[in-house]
């Protein structure tokens, strides 16, 4: 049984936002694959709940007139993986969310819930960061636009203010055009497990396929929040494709990460994973882009 106080079921986004303003401490229930577990365990017992799962206006993927890809937050992981727009333009995101849980979780879990939980191990988070995702956050007072890079505030904490709700995730054309990427997840089990470490990379090569024009590298569980290796990215820009490039990348990312010891893995093991997954994901991305080593 679930120990809820009141359950509200809005029929529109406008009504949901009004309910959220009236009940600022109420939980937003999307797929429920995280919240319902915490309610059953007692950690969120006795709370008001606003169920937004039936709001189809918050579900789906489309391409806007300027080429921006819009992902609504209630889109399930399985729908993201199988969506033709995702498959054609940002398949790395589909591959990443296809590694979450099992089929049942991927059918019910949502990408909005995945990033709003604020956990560093969220499999969608690193790839969204490498594609410079932009968030649309709504309240009864209007729409606020926020780069996803600024959304994470600490472990389990995100920049959602009182009365706000995530209503859209956008990836601009310039962020995905002519890019190729790879997400690698290391976990103790092959399925039904959260990441011990996750690494997402995408690259854009120069026209002659000899140099790196642009690279994006992000990690999960390499710090308290999902993070971009910004200084490493800058140091790799314009570099010739070579085995030495992969080694340089694996060393450069160490300036951007802050892994910790936990019961899942030691800090030293995570450092080893950070270096190795960087090499592998960068190699795969470059080869997909037409580069040769």
Q: Render pLDDT for 24-56 as a digit per residue (tens, 0 to 9).
A: 999 999 988 887 777 777 777 778 899 999 999
Q: Which residue has the higher pLDDT, 32 or 198?
A: 198
Does 284 have pLDDT greater than 70? yes
Question: Is 72 in contact with 61 (CB distance < 8 Å)?
Answer: yes
**Would the CATH topology of 61-174 be identical to that of 178-288?**
no
Computed over every residue of the chain, the mean pLDDT equals 95
What is the structure's pLDDT at 1? 58
How far apart are the C-alpha atoms of 200 and 225, rounded to whole Å? 14
Angle of CA points 170, 183, 52, to nearest 5°: 40
Q: Which fold has domain 61-174?
A: 3.30.465
Inter-axis angle of helices 267-288 and 243-252, nearest 10: 140
Does 146 have pLDDT greater than 90? yes
Does 211 have pLDDT greater than 80? yes
Neighbouring residues of 65: CB distance < 8 A, sequence distance ≥ 6: none
For the chain, the domains span: 4-50, 61-174, 178-288
Domain 178-288 grouped into CATH 3.30.390.50: yes
What is the structure's pLDDT at 35? 78
Region 181-200: mean pLDDT is: 92
Q: Find the helix or strand (DSSP H, E) in which 47 lies.
A: strand 47-51
């Amino acid at each position: 049984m679930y120990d809820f106080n009141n359950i509200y079921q809005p029929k529109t986004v406008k009504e949901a936002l009004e309910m959220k303003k009236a009940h600022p401490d109420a939980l937003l229930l999307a797929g429920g694959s995280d919240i319902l577990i915490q309610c059953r365990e007692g950690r969120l017992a006795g709370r008001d709940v606003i169920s937004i799962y039936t709001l189809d206006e918050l579900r789906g993927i489309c391409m806007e007139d300027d080429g921006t890809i819009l992902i609504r937050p209630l889109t399930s992981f399985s729908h993201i993986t199988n969506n033709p727009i995702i498959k054609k333009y940002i398949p790395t995101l589909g591959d990443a969310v296809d590694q979450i849980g099992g089929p049942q979780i991927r059918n019910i879990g949502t990408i909005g819930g995945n990033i709003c939980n604020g956990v560093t191990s969220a499999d969608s988070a690193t790839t969204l960061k490498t594609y410079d995702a932009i968030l649309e956050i709504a309240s009864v007072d209007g729409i606020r636009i926020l780069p996803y890079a600024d959304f994470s505030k600490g472990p389990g904490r995100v920049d959602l203010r009182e009365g706000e709700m995530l209503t859209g995730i956008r990836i601009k054309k310039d962020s995905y055009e002519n890019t190729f990427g790879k997400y690698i997840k290391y976990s103790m089990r092959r399925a039904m497990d959260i990441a011990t470490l996750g690494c997402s990379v995408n690259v854009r090569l120069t026209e002659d396929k000899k140099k790196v024009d642009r690279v994006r590298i992000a990690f999960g569980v390499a710090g308290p929040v999902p993070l971009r290796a910004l200084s490493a990215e800058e140091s790799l820009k314009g570099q010739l494709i070579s085995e030495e490039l992969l080694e340089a990348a694996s060393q450069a990312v160490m300036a951007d990460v802050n892994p910790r010891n936990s019961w899942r893995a030691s800090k030293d093991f995570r450092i080893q994973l950070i270096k190795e997954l960087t090499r592998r994901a960068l190699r795969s991305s470059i080869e997909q882009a037409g580069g040769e080593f």
